[in-house]
A and B are shown apart, each in its own frame.
Chain A
């Protein structure tokens, strides 16, 4: 009873401590220690099986290349990510939670064990063969079925040892490794002394008539790739105990690539020597020694090999039993070990594991290759050597690796496709090459490359990147966006696809484009466009067709859609309402190289479908560039998707006017005011007027939902933030004054009064101006702040304080850059407006943004300030204080 209790307790302790991060002071292994431990793991009797298998494929020289160079090549690549295990003191199973999800990793663990555990059936088969062969040498012939009984006895004894727990296993390992070394030395001595050296050196296998030497060489490389790659599961525990990344990495590489491979070559030498002497190729060291030296040596080696095989079986059961226990915490260790024993037992009863050794190796590698690729790409390119340990350990409140109910779909899909890809190249069961070109890369190598590329590219897609990188909050990329980077020209190959995409997006809205004064106008020129919704970005390229153009875009778009795609689309990244000299230089570059520069000078979507005032800088820029100025006034884009409710209204119809307002000849002659006047005139718009005049019927029942964001003040009781909206109505929460939005965008009061939405909007502005003039305007509220430093991720800055008064803005918060509690000040005159959102990305609610050169701060209300935080009112105050409406 007490022994049973002790084993369980030991295992519980082993599992618990075995999964915790190992602290730097607890690290045990330098390079030599780690090398010895890992070498010990890699040396097993199956090395002889591998060696004799290789000898059936290729000559000795090619065999050496495969055993050493192919092994080292693969190890150099797939062992690289173990530096994460060293850095964080965790094994790869903890880390794999980030790749497959907290539940997904359990399935992967089981999968790995299923494909890996046949190695132990190989041990049992060897044990049985050794016994039979040696007894046969002494003239003792066993009964039918004795082979199975012997192999099963190896399973049973190994399982019993594993069940006795960690103490017994430790002693087993201590005896096992020297024994295996001893057997290895004996095999080398006997092998090299019993046949002439040149027999081994010049050895060539006797191939069947239809055998292809190149295919065999590739299979030799493949077998070595697979051999080293499939041992990673059992070695996963060691690197976290290393004292430096270098020692962990090179110990892994050399433990397998030198020590492990040496024993593979020993096995090959043995097999070649046996074939030379007896005409039969064997992988049994006992039989070889008995045949090539003396039966007594065979008898001695029998005991060594017997124990070695049983010991390997026991250690394997223990390692994988603990691995399963750490994955399935509630299961009993003993039950798990028995299940593993049963699995090996079934393989022994099947009895063909040696016959299908090559197939088993390749199938294992089909799983391991994509796994190794995922680890590599995830560590170096996706997570960039950072992991959220708290999420990996599923600490409360840290759920980054839960993904979709515990499964990372992207990781799972890549693993499955990587597996399928290798099978498309080569059928390991029937040994049929399906694709000879890809086969040259080996099934493992091709699968590794394919999965790596697939996962890398998928993670470049912004939506997928955000899904996979839910842990960015723990280790965000803080490097500021490079605003000075020279923008590429719009990708000419990308352009037709972009036009097609734009066509598709505008098609439901019957876009009509009218061009005025555009005869003879060719790039370079400057385009100023109205800005109503994202639809503007689909209409503009079609209006400028067949020319390509560059666009100014807020950095947020780069983050949302991906920097690569934005660059291909010709976007210049910037932050709103800052004095960005790099942007001016890049605009000049675009014009200088003969392209079109598109600017949306309002720098924000229209809140209620009416234009904002433009500043003289718009005209000054045109004069500086000395190129024609073209305006693009787009109507209907706001109606199709107003900023206060991003649901698309299918009833909208869109129209655009492209007009040259300043020619090349006029640009020097006209004054700034004259140019500004012409641009402002052409960019004046009123979407509701356009809707009414053109009888554009928008009958969506929810057409007024969200309208309370721009229309926040009750017309009747005069209270701010009083309005609420539902369906097609906007209503005051306090006095219940209510308006129905008709299908043509007009508001109707219960008394029959008709309200033009922009009038209500501008009416509110007046009250804000009055508050400011009378010194009554002040907003001082708690807020939630997220910073956007680059196109990669947001950085959570926690809660802070947001103040707006006649002096401008103050933002008080824990600045992640300086790691200090700071107050950033944005003087009133430094900003003529500010960026506002009513429901950011359709799920984050209302916010405003403030920008420095290196960060855009997205400022959201907290629960406490939600009722008094209205982006429209903040914007009115900003525009008045900034001088836009004075």
Chain B
């Protein structure tokens, strides 16, 4: 029973934190950087075929 209450309160707290963006989100800039790194890696892999 205590376990259920603990779980309940944690879920509520996590959802509240999510709504208020307490855990910093990935920003648009982060996604763009990720996309660029992915693209460079892909180009590198393709380039490897010609070595």
Task: Mark A residues whose CB is within 8 Å of B.
Answer: 16, 20-21, 23-24, 27, 59, 61-62, 65-66, 69-70, 72-73, 76-77, 80, 83, 86-89, 214, 217, 221, 243-246, 249, 389-390, 393, 395
Contact = CB atoms under 8 A, between A and B. Distances in A.
Interface string B8-51: 10110111011000111111001000100110111011011101
Given A77-B38, A249-B26, A20 B10 contact: yes
Contacts, number: 90
A244 B14 contact: no
Contacts of A393: 7, 11
A245 B7 contact: no
B23 A62 contact: no
B45 A221 contact: yes
Contacts of A61: 48, 51
A73 B48 contact: no
Contacts of A83: 25-26
A24 B3 CA distance: 19
Given A246-B30, A395-B8, A65 B38 contact: no
B13 to A, nearest CB: 5
B41 A69 contact: yes
A95 to B, nearest CB: 13
Top-5 shortest CB links A-B: A73-B41, A69-B44, A65-B48, A244-B24, A76-B38
A559 B42 CA distance: 38
Nearest to B14: A21
Given A76-B38, A88-B18, A69 B45 contact: yes
A23 B13 contact: yes
A438 to B, nearest CB: 16
Q: How large is the interface on B (under 10, 10 to 19, 20 to 34, 35 or more residues)?
A: 20 to 34
14 contacts: A20-B6, A20-B7, A24-B14, A65-B45, A65-B48, A69-B48, A72-B41, A86-B23, A87-B18, A244-B23, A245-B30, A246-B30, A249-B26, A249-B30
Nearest to B15: A389
B3 A217 contact: no
B34 to A, nearest CB: 6
A88 B34 CA distance: 21
A243 B23 contact: yes
Contacts of B18: 87-88
B45 A73 contact: yes
B38 A23 contact: no
Contact of B49 (A20, A87, A89, A214): A214
Given A73-B45, A244-B23, A21 B11 contact: yes
Contacts of B40: 69
A65 B44 contact: yes
Contact of A245 (B11, B13, B26): B26
A86 B23 CA distance: 8
A377 B4 CA distance: 31
Best-buried of A87, A214, A221, A249 by chain B (most CB within 10 Å): A87
B24 A245 contact: yes
A24 B23 CA distance: 7
B38 to A, nearest CB: 4
A244 B24 CA distance: 5
Nearest to A77: B38
Interface of B is mostly: helix
A86 B18 CA distance: 10
Best-buried of A16, A20, A61, A214 by chain B (most CB within 10 Å): A20
Nearest to A72: B41
A770 B23 CA distance: 62
Contacts of B44: 65, 69
A473 to B, nearest CB: 14
A24 B37 CA distance: 29
Given A61-B51, A88-B14, A246-B27, 17 more contacts: A20-B10, A21-B13, A21-B14, A23-B17, A27-B23, A61-B48, A66-B45, A69-B40, A72-B37, A76-B41, A88-B18, A89-B14, A245-B23, A245-B25, A249-B30, A395-B7, A395-B11
Contacts of A21: 10-11, 13-14
A89 B4 CA distance: 17
Nearest to B18: A87
Contacts of B4: 395
A88 B11 CA distance: 9
A817 to B, nearest CB: 16
A80 B42 CA distance: 16
B11 A59 contact: no
Nearest to B11: A389
Nearest to A76: B38
A268 to B, nearest CB: 15
Contacts of A69: 40-41, 44-45, 48
Best-buried of A62, A66, A246, A393 by chain B (most CB within 10 Å): A246
B35 to A, nearest CB: 8
Contacts of A86: 23
B48 A217 contact: yes
Nearest to A225: B45
B45 to A, nearest CB: 5
A23 B51 CA distance: 49
Contacts of B10: 20-21, 23, 89
B14 to A, nearest CB: 4
B27 to A, nearest CB: 8
A62 B7 contact: no
Given A66-B48, A88-B18, A217-B49, A76 B34 contact: yes
A80 B34 contact: yes
Contacts of A66: 45, 48
B33 to A, nearest CB: 9
A581 B48 CA distance: 58
Contacts of A76: 34, 37-38, 41
Nearest to B8: A395
Contacts of A16: 3
B15 to A, nearest CB: 7
Contacts of A244: 23-24
Contacts of B8: 395
Nearest to B24: A244
A86 B27 CA distance: 14
A581 to B, nearest CB: 34
A6 B18 CA distance: 36
A193 to B, nearest CB: 26
Contacts of B47: 65
Contacts of B41: 69-70, 72-73, 76
Nearest to B42: A73
A59 B38 CA distance: 23
A221 B4 CA distance: 46
